[in-house]
Chain A
């Protein structure tokens, strides 16, 4: 059975969809069979980030409402053989799908894939509930800013209450220069509050914007450091021990990280 991983954040705009696309692509590039589901019904954009927008015929709501078979709604990636997307409907809203529907879709996909990656909408309402209902594991994406961390904390609390296992954390858009000047929260500050396992640190990088606009995940660009950060996340998901490397060369604060990672509260 596939591992169903939901990528969520609470706050919008922290990079959930970018993370979903890049982690999904990186996992597929490592030889896994991966399907990404866009659970952001009404505001879909995982298809755009993956560059598959123009291939959509059927979507998740069509599957749920029985207008097509699940197979028909799955779009194969143009670069990777084993990466698929189930797009969201753009013309409907979150109420078109129930948590039960999501579980059913994931059960069906689970037979044929190694990973099902679900891109959650922002917020803690219906769309979020749909996205986490089928999840075996949760990845929380946050930015090193107080409001994003506050929302991540709330989400972690809900995930714990739903007994979806300890959430894992990706700190996205860290700017090491700003951190060293003391103008940005350091990863250690974020971890001190959230107290969950860190699974990735992604630097702030304008190339990400370019790659999402082009519809080509940066994790497939071999030379990109940001791409490497996403590839590292994929390897950690697969159970490898991958050391955290610091983009600014100074290993000082990264060195402290492992000591600060504590188990989450029960």
Chain B
């Protein structure tokens, strides 16, 4: 018999707890359960409670990808294992939710709509994201540094890069097409806002700060002009 997977709706999203035993088995039953319920759970934000399971960074990355393939987004991992916590943090996942103890309120999920994202749900990072690095965050992301080709940022809110943005960027990843992407040098390999995908032209002359947003169903990028706040419509 496979270990039990429990799914509870709490204020911060869906709290999913897995059973004890071998992680490989627990992971399978977790993915199986999510697969069975994916139509019901679609778009939910998951908080995964893995208790004492030890999960290294590579497995954590794989798990997150598999969960997002089911149309769900993993934003937090709770664990008693320091290794697992470190792996989660390395992936940009939260390891604490605001309540000290997740209160199991049996009310079904309260779907967080993207518009309820607050400024508090923003992440500020100072690093160079190299090829292969990946960051996904349920909120806004500000990065001081470069995003090199082969790296990616996926955010449900806005993305601001104080540096060169040359990798893949997806703003409004949960469907908010009011999200914007700004960068000092906006030359991503691919730029996505909500469901819109844009492939920027290869060569740009002057490297000026730009802002990209969706206008009339298309992604447009324009030069950032000081003194005019493009973002006022938000």
Taking beta carbons and an 8 Å cutoff, which residues of A are in contact with B?
A: 150-151, 153-154, 156-158, 160-161, 193, 195, 264-266
Q: How far is the CA of A195 from the CA of B130 in the complex (A)?
A: 10
Q: Does chain A have a CB within 8 A of B217?
A: no
Q: Secondary structure of the B side of the interface?
A: loop
Q: Quick check: which of B38-46, B75-83, B105-113, B141-149 contacts chain A, the rest being far away? A: B141-149
Q: How far is the CA of A150 from the CA of B146 in the complex (A)?
A: 14
Going nearest first, the 6 A-B pairs with the smallest beta carbon separation are A265-B128, A157-B130, A154-B131, A153-B131, A154-B132, A153-B130
Q: How far is the CA of A157 from the CA of B151 in the complex (A)?
A: 10
- Is B149 a contact of A157 with CB atoms below 8 Å? no
- Is B145 a contact of A265 with CB atoms below 8 Å? yes
CB neighbours (8 Å) of B148 from chain A are 153, 193
Most chain A Cβ neighbours within 10 Å, of B127, B128, B129:
B128
Taking beta carbons and an 8 Å cutoff, which residues of B are in contact with A?
A: 90, 126-133, 145-146, 148-150
- Is A264 a contact of B131 with CB atoms below 8 Å? no
For B127, the closest partner residue in chain A by CB is A265
CB neighbours (8 Å) of A160 from chain B are 130
For B150, the closest partner residue in chain A by CB is A150
- Is B131 a contact of A157 with CB atoms below 8 Å? yes
CB neighbours (8 Å) of A161 from chain B are 90
CB neighbours (8 Å) of A266 from chain B are 126-128
Q: A158-B132, A265-B146 are in contact. List 20 more A-B contacts (CB 8 A).
A: A150-B131, A150-B150, A153-B149, A153-B150, A154-B131, A154-B132, A156-B130, A157-B129, A157-B131, A157-B133, A161-B90, A193-B148, A193-B149, A195-B146, A264-B128, A265-B127, A265-B130, A266-B126, A266-B127, A266-B128
Q: How far is the CA of A161 from the CA of B90 in the complex (A)?
A: 9
**B201 to chain A: closest CB distance in Å?**
17
CB neighbours (8 Å) of B130 from chain A are 153-154, 156-157, 160, 265
CB neighbours (8 Å) of B126 from chain A are 266
CB neighbours (8 Å) of B133 from chain A are 157
CB neighbours (8 Å) of B129 from chain A are 157
Q: How far is the CA of A167 from the CA of B129 in the complex (A)?
A: 15
For A264, the closest partner residue in chain B by CB is B128
CB neighbours (8 Å) of A193 from chain B are 148-149
**A40 to chain B: closest CB distance in Å?**
22
**A89 to chain B: closest CB distance in Å?**
27
**A208 to chain B: closest CB distance in Å?**
27
Q: How far is the CA of A160 from the CA of B148 in the complex (A)?
A: 15
Q: How far is the CA of A43 from the CA of B110 in the complex (A)?
A: 56
For A195, the closest partner residue in chain B by CB is B128
**A260 to chain B: closest CB distance in Å?**
14
**A234 to chain B: closest CB distance in Å?**
28
CB neighbours (8 Å) of A154 from chain B are 130-132, 150
CB neighbours (8 Å) of A265 from chain B are 127-128, 130, 145-146
Most chain B Cβ neighbours within 10 Å, of A160, A193, A195, A264:
A193
Q: How far is the CA of A44 from the CA of B129 in the complex (A)?
A: 33
**A133 to chain B: closest CB distance in Å?**
15
For B57, the closest partner residue in chain A by CB is A161
Q: How far is the CA of A218 from the CA of B132 in the complex (A)?
A: 35
**B57 to chain A: closest CB distance in Å?**
8
CB neighbours (8 Å) of A195 from chain B are 128, 146
Q: How far is the CA of A17 from the CA of B126 in the complex (A)?
A: 35
Q: How far is the CA of A151 from the CA of B149 in the complex (A)?
A: 10
For A265, the closest partner residue in chain B by CB is B128
CB neighbours (8 Å) of B149 from chain A are 150, 153, 193
Q: How far is the CA of A160 from the CA of B130 in the complex (A)?
A: 10
For B90, the closest partner residue in chain A by CB is A161
CB neighbours (8 Å) of B127 from chain A are 265-266
**A205 to chain B: closest CB distance in Å?**
28
CB neighbours (8 Å) of A158 from chain B are 132
For A192, the closest partner residue in chain B by CB is B164
CB neighbours (8 Å) of A150 from chain B are 131, 149-150
**A19 to chain B: closest CB distance in Å?**
21
**A23 to chain B: closest CB distance in Å?**
24
